[in-house]
C-alpha cells in the first residue's frame, strides 16, 4: 500500500470565531470536547476579557491622574502669576524666567 501526501489545511482561528470544518468532514458528526475542557476554555476567555478591562481601567485612571496633575500645576501658575517662562522645581521653588525653552524645530 502506498502512502499519499496530503497537504495540511491552514485555518486562521480567532478567539471568538467559529471555524468551519473542511468539505471532506462536512458530513461527519463533530467531535465534542469534555465539559472540563470546555469550562477551561470559557474560563480562559473570561480571564482574557477581565485582563483587557483592567488594562483599560488602568489607562483611564492614568489619564485621570495626569489631568489632575496638570490642573494643580495650572492652579499654582495662576495663583503665583507665573508665565511660560517661569518654572517650578521638584523642591517647590519658583524660578522666574527659569523655564528651559524648547529648541526650535528645523
Beta-bridge partners for 94: 88
Give the pLDDT mean for 57-78.
Answer: 97
**Is 90 exceeded by the pLDDT of residue 9?**
no
Q: How confident is the model at residue 62, as a pLDDT?
A: 98
User: H/E element holding 40?
Assistant: helix 35-79
In the chain, DSSP finds a helix count (H) and a strand count (E) of 1, 2
Task: Give 23-45 pLDDT, tens digit per residue.
Answer: 665 578 889 999 999 999 999 99
User: Cell numbers 468532514 label which residue?
Assistant: 25
User: Cell numbers 473542511 label which residue?
Assistant: 22
More confident residue, 98 or 16: 98
More confident residue, 22 or 31: 31
Supply angle C-alpha 58, 62, 64, rounded to 5.
115
User: Cell numbers 463533530 label which residue?
Assistant: 30
**Is 90 exceeded by the pLDDT of residue 21?**
no
Rounded CA separation 50/56 (Å): 10
Mapping DSSP to helix (H, G, I), strand (E, B) and coil, where does residue 41 land?
Answer: helix
Domain segments of the chain as ranges? 34-95
**Is 70 exceeded by the pLDDT of residue 57?**
yes
Q: What is the mean pLDDT of the chain?
A: 82
Amino acid at each position: 500500500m502506498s502512502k499519499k501526501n496530503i497537504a495540511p489545511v491552514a485555518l486562521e482561528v480567532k478567539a471568538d470565531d467559529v471555524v468551519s470544518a473542511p468539505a471532506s468532514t462536512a458530513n461527519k458528526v463533530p467531535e465534542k470536547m469534555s465539559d472540563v475542557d470546555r469550562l477551561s476554555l470559557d474560563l480562559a476567555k473570561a480571564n482574557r476579557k477581565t485582563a483587557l478591562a483592567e488594562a483599560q481601567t488602568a489607562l483611564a485612571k492614568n489619564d485621570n491622574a495626569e489631568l489632575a496633575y496638570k490642573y494643580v500645576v495650572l492652579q499654582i501658575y495662576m495663583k503665583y502669576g507665573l508665565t511660560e517662562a517661569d518654572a517650578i522645581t521638584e523642591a517647590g521653588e519658583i524660578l522666574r524666567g527659569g523655564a528651559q525653552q524648547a529648541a526650535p524645530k528645523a
